Amino acid sequence: MAKHETPLLDQLESGPWPSFVSDMKLEAEVRAKNEAGIEFQIPVDVVDDLMGVLELSYVHGRTHWKHGGIVGVFGYGGGVIGRYCDQPEMFPGVAHFHTVRVAQPAGKYYKADYLRQLMDIWQMRGSGMTNMHGSTGDIIFLGTRTEQLEEIFYELTHNLNTDLGGSGSNLRTPADCIGSSRCEFSCYDTNALCHFLTNLYQDELHRPAFPYKFKFKFDGCPNGCVASIARSDMSFIGTWKDDIRIDQEAVQAYIGGEIAPNGGAFKGRDWGAFDIQKEVIDLCPTECMWMEGKELKIDNKECNRCMHCINAMPRALRVGQDTGLSILVGAKAPILDGQQMGSLLAPFVEVNPEDDYAAVTEVIESIWDWWMEEGKNRERLGELIRRAGFQKMLEVTGIKADARHVSEPRCNPYIFWKEDEVPGGWERDVKEYRKHHKR
């Protein structure tokens, strides 16, 4: 017998998509039966009460969580999102319902054994409910009480060698696409770089020292499978400098219909026979491709590495061999001054694990030095760039301005000059001027 009636939620058990309501009911039942004999450290009926309060919110059309919440573990300034129900008498199981962010492995590859151990901790000390994963990347433990936080942290660190993720005005948990682990488009090992920088900047992640939050994300190529350009203050996107590698025989196999275009991604509908002219050459944004007899040609110096031709014919075309990454900065959601995507800061940066990615960390740290000093309270990097100017950011990172920094030059003439760039400087005497121009 369910603890609360949930007629509205029950409707979400029909239909083909996996139902979160059915899953919650299953977990509520597992806890109620407790066949494994677990010594639950928070109320057994936490899941029932969560469904109860959710049903109430469906009825009211309003949330029933109180504002904010400040809880955590000693030594860290973040990692746990405190939360309290505003109807604790009605739903005592979720009077405390804190979320714990747990650091996930790069690329989110797991072994069953590891996940089992995680769940052993969480079944006993939490609600048993999770979010796999939060948008930023963390494993999310959804719902526990304050007294359990240090216990969970102790077991995570001592038994599972696993740390918390980030929250607050700090470096949040970095995340990456699967990169070269399973993708032939990857221009650098995103897993390795993501892991390395997460370890290098643990202090910045666990103890908020920034004006506001700051996120890293790592895409192996411009396809953007982790959406770094839209979801990270500093976005690292793989690219290459040399020529696209062409296998002319494979090109012919695509033309002859032996290989399906786009890895067969459009097989669900009849789009007609593959037409390399129509589907690749005519769609190249820079019009830098053509057929010369049976040979596909690319004028690589005009190619902007958009990935289209490679995506269309992955067995014939490959990214170049002289690879690295671009760094884009400033992406953020609308609050306060409007949404932004990353703007190109460093067109090509070397990715070298041998020297601990010195070229990458240099850009990161010069950006931090500047933003930590100049950023206003709760001002994202993207907003500081708007306020202080892109030029200022180029100065602090020591990157020389070039045409790739803009999609178009400015059209207003409000141009600032530095005093030392102007012969004679700014100190002028009006009397001197009056000698030549009468009032």
Partner 1 sequence: MAEVEFKGKKFVVDEDGFLEDFNTYTEEWVEFCMKEEGIDTLTEEHWNVINILQDYYKKNGIAPMVRVLSKLTGFKLKHIYELFPSGPGKGACKMAGLPKPTGCV
Closest distance to ligand SF4 from the beta carbon of 243 (Å): 10
Q: Please, which residue, 99 or 228, has the CB nearer to partner 1?
A: 99
Structure tokens at 323: 């690879």
Q: Please, which residue, 185 or 214, has the CB nearer to ligand SF4?
A: 185
β-bridge pairing 216-219 and 175-176: parallel
Task: Out of 224, 252, 344, 348, point to the residue binding ligand SF4 (CB under 6 A).
Answer: 224
Q: Please, which residue, 132 or 372, has the CB nearer to partner 1?
A: 372
286 binds ligand SF4 (CB under 6 A): yes
Q: How many Å separate Cα 207 from the centre of its chain? A: 20
Task: Out of 149, 221, 255, 351, point to the residue binding ligand SF4 (CB under 6 A).
Answer: 221
179 binds ligand SF4 (CB under 6 A): yes
C-alpha distances in angstroms, 363 versus 345, 346, 349, 369? 9, 8, 9, 10
279 binds ligand SF4 (CB under 6 A): no
Cα 61 to Cα 278: distance, rounded to the nearest angstrom: 50
**Which SS3 state, helix, strand or coil, does residue 107 take?**
helix
Angle between helices 190-200 and 358-374 (to 10 degrees): 50
- Residue 304 interacts with, from partner 1, ligand SF4, none (CB under 5-8 Å by kind): ligand SF4
Cα 31 to Cα 40: distance, rounded to the nearest angstrom: 9
Contact between residue 86 and residue 65 where contact means Cβ atoms under 8 Å apart: yes
Cα 129 to Cα 339: distance, rounded to the nearest angstrom: 32
Q: How many Å separate Cα 408 from the centre of its chain? A: 27
Q: Please, which residue, 107 or 168, has the CB nearer to partner 1?
A: 168
Contact between residue 27 and residue 128 where contact means Cβ atoms under 8 Å apart: yes
Q: Please, which residue, 100 or 310, has the CB nearer to partner 1?
A: 100
Cα 205 to Cα 78: distance, rounded to the nearest angstrom: 8
Task: Out of 304, 321, 352, 391, point to the residue binding ligand SF4 (CB under 6 A).
Answer: 304
- Residue 319 interacts with, from partner 1, ligand SF4, none (CB under 5-8 Å by kind): none
- Residue 221 interacts with, from partner 1, ligand SF4, none (CB under 5-8 Å by kind): ligand SF4
- Residue 224 interacts with, from ligand SF4, partner 1, none (CB under 5-8 Å by kind): ligand SF4
Structure tokens at 112: 């069953």
Which residue is it, tokens 């190109």?
A: 344
351 binds ligand SF4 (CB under 6 A): no
178 binds ligand SF4 (CB under 6 A): yes
Closest distance to partner 1 from the beta carbon of 84 (Å): 5
Structure tokens at 199: 């370890």
Element housing 238 (H / E)? strand 234-240
- Which of 211, 251, 246 is closest to 320 using CA atoms? 246
Q: Please, which residue, 174 or 179, has the CB nearer to ligand SF4?
A: 179
- Residue 87 interacts with, from partner 1, ligand SF4, none (CB under 5-8 Å by kind): none
Judged by the rule CB under 8 A, the positions of this chain that interact with partner 1 are: 66-78, 81-82, 84, 96, 167-169, 203, 207-211, 213, 372-373, 377-378
246 binds ligand SF4 (CB under 6 A): no
Which residue's C-beta sits nearest to ligand SF4? 220
**Which SS3 state, helix, strand or coil, does residue 242 take?**
coil
230 binds ligand SF4 (CB under 6 A): no
Cα 21 to Cα 4: distance, rounded to the nearest angstrom: 13
- Which residues make up the interface to ligand SF4 (CB under 6 A)? 177-179, 183, 185-186, 219-221, 223-225, 284-286, 288-289, 298, 303-309
